[in-house]
């Protein structure tokens, strides 16, 4: 089983719809992140959380919200999806200041 699991893996949704992407981890890490990846732009940070009571905006948080339901669960919501939110979304975890990031398999989201 994957250490960081994202659901769904693929999703097509219509403009204006609300959609939630979910992430769960079994690594026991406190820190969780949401990134989006677009061709040529690399991974850009949307939100991050260092524990259940800590939520922080990343560089591109507009149009997104998150919820940290438990240490192991971090969900990303698009309240009203728009076509330029079409991208590959990744959840990641890390443990402490000087450790690497562990990524999920990604969610490919298409907004039509």
Distance in angstroms (rounded) separating the CA atoms of residues 55 and 34: 11
The reply on whether position 52 binds other proteins by CB under 8 A is no
The reply on whether position 76 binds other proteins by CB under 8 A is no
The reply on whether position 86 binds other proteins by CB under 8 A is no
Positive or negative CA dihedral for 17, 110, 63, 84?
Answer: negative
CA distances from 74 to 44, 48, 61, 81 (A): 17, 9, 15, 19
The reply on whether position 1 binds other proteins by CB under 8 A is no
The reply on whether position 24 binds other proteins by CB under 8 A is no
Burial of 101 (0-12, 13-18, 19+ CB in 10 A): middle
Question: Which member of 43, 52, 55, 60 binds other proteins (CB under 8 A)?
Answer: 43
Q: Which stretch binds other proteins (CB under 8 A): 21-29, 63-71, 79-87, 90-98?
A: 90-98
| Maximum Cα interatomic distance, the chain, rounded to a whole number of Å | 40
Min. distance of Cβ 104 from other proteins in angstroms?
6
Residues in contact with other proteins by the rule CB under 8 A: 4, 33, 35, 40-43, 45, 48, 50, 58-59, 90, 92, 94, 97-98, 100-106, 108
């Amino acid at each position: 089983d994957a250490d960081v699991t994202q659901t769904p893996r693929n999703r097509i949704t219509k403009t204006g719809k609300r959609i939630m992407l979910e992430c769960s981890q079994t690594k026991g890490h406190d820190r969780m992140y949401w990134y989006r990846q677009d061709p040529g732009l690399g991974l850009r940070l949307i939100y991050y959380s260092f524990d259940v009571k800590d939520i922080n905006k990343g560089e591109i948080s507009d149009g997104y919200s998150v919820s940290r339901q438990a240490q192991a669960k971090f969900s990303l919501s698009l309240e009203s999806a728009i076509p330029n939110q079409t991208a590959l979304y990744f959840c990641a975890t890390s443990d402490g200041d000087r450790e690497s990031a562990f990524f999920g398999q990604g969610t490919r989201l298409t907004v039509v």
